[in-house]
Chains A and B, each alone.
Chain A
Amino acid sequence: MKRLVILGAGTGGTIMANLLHRRLARSEWAITIIDRDNEHYYQPGFLFIPFGFYKRADIVKPRSKFLPRRVEFIVSEVDRIDPAANEVVFKDGSRIAYDYLIVATGAEIVPAETPGMLDGWRDTIFDFYTPDGAEALTEKLKALPGGRIVIHVNETPIKCPVAPLEFAFFCDWCLRRHHRRDKIDLIYVTPLPGAFTKPVASKALGMLLDEKRVEMVTDFNAERIDAAARKIIGYDGREIPYDLLVTVPTNMGSEMIERSGLGNEFRFLPTDPHTLRSKKHANIFGIGDATDVQTSKAGSVAHFQAEILAGNVVRAIEGKPLEPAFDGHSNCFVEAGKGKAVLIDFNYDVEPLPGRFPFPVVGPMPLLKPSRINHWGKLAFRWIYWHVLLPGRPIPFVPARMRMAGKKRPTDAASASK
């Protein structure tokens, strides 16, 4: 009996378990998936908690509920991967051997990477990338009398690169509804030269920030935070004062990857961007946020990768050459406030463009433009996530590889990059 081991039962790992159990013969293959706990969070839901749209109980379910019965689920802390022995080593020293390994251990926030950030942690400095952080922020936002809310991205890459923008849009909307907007200034601080990495979307999203009177500070790299004086200090000497700092700290891969000696400087697994195989080990593959591939760290990406990765794992097992099929496809709804959302769809080579999705002309969803149907799409996505995405079913009309149909490149795209 051979064994395939999946590390991490989040979005990518769970989809892989569901896809591969259908493709690997029961008589020949055992499939084991390992995670440190049995709580699967719908991570896009974290954003909604501070504004009272969701509660924690609305976005968490047992991981075991989404795994096929045939797949063995082990809840235990992994110490490291021993690639020379083809074994996973648990914290208690016990080992499990694998023939093939899929790394799906995700990314996490590491506030300790910025000197001073932990000094004000959950006092005047908050995150919304963890359930605890999002819950703590709910209370803080309610009680804030006035002043400066600084929404801060510390370092790229981060999970869901549009989430801090959505946070700014939601903040503006909620403060307006509660007639508190005039007492509070919103400031968006980013290490990027604009609201987003790619020019056309950066322009569209930057205009939305402007429309909502969110001040933008760009090219800002935080050297440290002076929590006592409540200010962020940049490497270039700029200082940004805040009353409430909502930060997205540096995102890194699992410490386990580093202990295994398999990570890059962010503890992400160096992975072939098209086949999704580890650049170092022929029987190790990566999926989702855990890899270093240059596309968004987002659930939609893990979903698009999964179909291609499942094919490549089977090909590797059969001794066939891998298919370099992954194109970096990413697709996200960006909440814009006021019951509207913006949809973006892009890949390694094509930046987010305006147009219609998934069909040209008829859409029904407009790209790169706020609309109500996109907002309903985002809300419906929570149901789709549990019932379509995790079981590894295809989403109707949305294939793994990006399609150009319906997208239009603005003629002033070049000038937008200035």
Chain B
Amino acid sequence: MAQKQYETAVVEVDAEGFMTDFSQWTRDVAVAIAKEEGIAELTAVHWKVIDYIHKDFKENGQVPSIRKLNKSGVISTKELYDLFPGGPAKKAAKISGMKKPEGCV
């Protein structure tokens, strides 16, 4: 298992840089991962998405799908793509300290 240093924090990550121990996640780590993913600043809307992912994971044990984020009224799919360019499901999960979404089989 690899480790990664974000500012002063050291976190466990998998081969693709997804955190493997959520207890190591902090808001500062999230900001650092976001920078690495090309998101200069996490805005209030970013945080709304991240908070929802955490809440939903707590309740259901799964990273919510883009469809669920859209349907739950958190954010439209189009906005989500603007916020996390290039692959919102993966990027949002990574910044939230979640494992890589299954994407289903």
Q: Which residues of A contact B (CB under 8 A)?
A: 155-157, 161, 191-192, 197-198, 219, 221, 223, 235-236, 264-266, 270, 294-296, 330, 346, 414, 417
Tell me, rounded to whole Å, the shortest Cβ–Cβ distance linking A214 to chain B. Answer: 21
Taking CB as reference atom, which chain B residue is nearest A234?
Answer: B81
B86 contacts chain A at the CB level, 8 A cutoff: yes
- Contact residues, B41-83 vs A (CB, 8 A): 60, 62, 65-68, 71-72, 77-78, 81
Taking CB as reference atom, which chain A residue is nearest B67?
Answer: A265
Query: When the two chains form their complex, are residues B102 and A197 in contact, meaning their CB atoms are under 8 A apart?
Result: yes
Query: When the two chains form their complex, are residues A296 and B105 in contact, meaning their CB atoms are under 8 A apart?
Result: yes
User: Which has the most chain B C-beta neighbours within 10 Å: A161, A197, A219, A264?
Assistant: A264
Which residue of the partner chain, among A192, A265, A346, contacts B103 with CB atoms under 8 Å?
A192
Rounded to whole angstroms, the CA-CA distance of A156 and B103 in the bound complex is 7
Rounded to whole angstroms, the CA-CA distance of A219 and B103 in the bound complex is 11
Tell me, rounded to whole Å, the shortest Cβ–Cβ distance linking A242 to chain B. Answer: 22
Query: When the two chains form their complex, are residues B65 and A265 in contact, meaning their CB atoms are under 8 A apart?
Result: yes
Query: When the two chains form their complex, are residues B77 and A223 in contact, meaning their CB atoms are under 8 A apart?
Result: yes
Query: When the two chains form their complex, are residues B105 and A157 in contact, meaning their CB atoms are under 8 A apart?
Result: yes
Rounded to whole angstroms, the CA-CA distance of A296 and B62 in the bound complex is 17
B7 contacts chain A at the CB level, 8 A cutoff: no
Within 8 Å CB of B62, what residues of A? Answer: 294
Query: When the two chains form their complex, are residues B105 and A330 in contact, meaning their CB atoms are under 8 A apart?
Result: yes
Which residue of the partner chain, among B68, B78, B105, contacts A265 with CB atoms under 8 Å?
B68
Query: When the two chains form their complex, are residues A235 and B81 in contact, meaning their CB atoms are under 8 A apart?
Result: yes
Tell me, rounded to whole Å, the shortest Cβ–Cβ distance linking A270 to chain B. Answer: 8
Given A223-B77, A235-B78, answer yes or no on A417-B67 (Cβ-Cβ < 8 Å): no
Query: When the two chains form their complex, are residues B67 and A161 in contact, meaning their CB atoms are under 8 A apart?
Result: no
Q: List 8 A-B contacts (CB under 8 A).
A: A156-B103, A235-B77, A235-B78, A236-B86, A264-B68, A266-B67, A294-B104, A295-B105
Rounded to whole angstroms, the CA-CA distance of A91 and B10 in the bound complex is 59
Tell me, rounded to whole Å, the shortest Cβ–Cβ distance linking B81 to chain A. Answer: 4
Query: When the two chains form their complex, are residues B15 and A156 in contact, meaning their CB atoms are under 8 A apart?
Result: no
Q: A330-B105, A414-B15 are in contact. List 17 more A-B contacts (CB 8 A).
A: A156-B104, A157-B104, A161-B104, A161-B105, A197-B103, A197-B104, A197-B105, A219-B86, A221-B81, A236-B81, A264-B68, A265-B67, A265-B71, A266-B65, A295-B105, A296-B105, A417-B16
B85 contacts chain A at the CB level, 8 A cutoff: yes
Within 8 Å CB of B66, what residues of A? Answer: 221
B87 contacts chain A at the CB level, 8 A cutoff: yes
Rounded to whole angstroms, the CA-CA distance of A294 and B62 in the bound complex is 10
User: Which has the most chain B C-beta neighbours within 10 Å: A191, A197, A221?
Assistant: A221
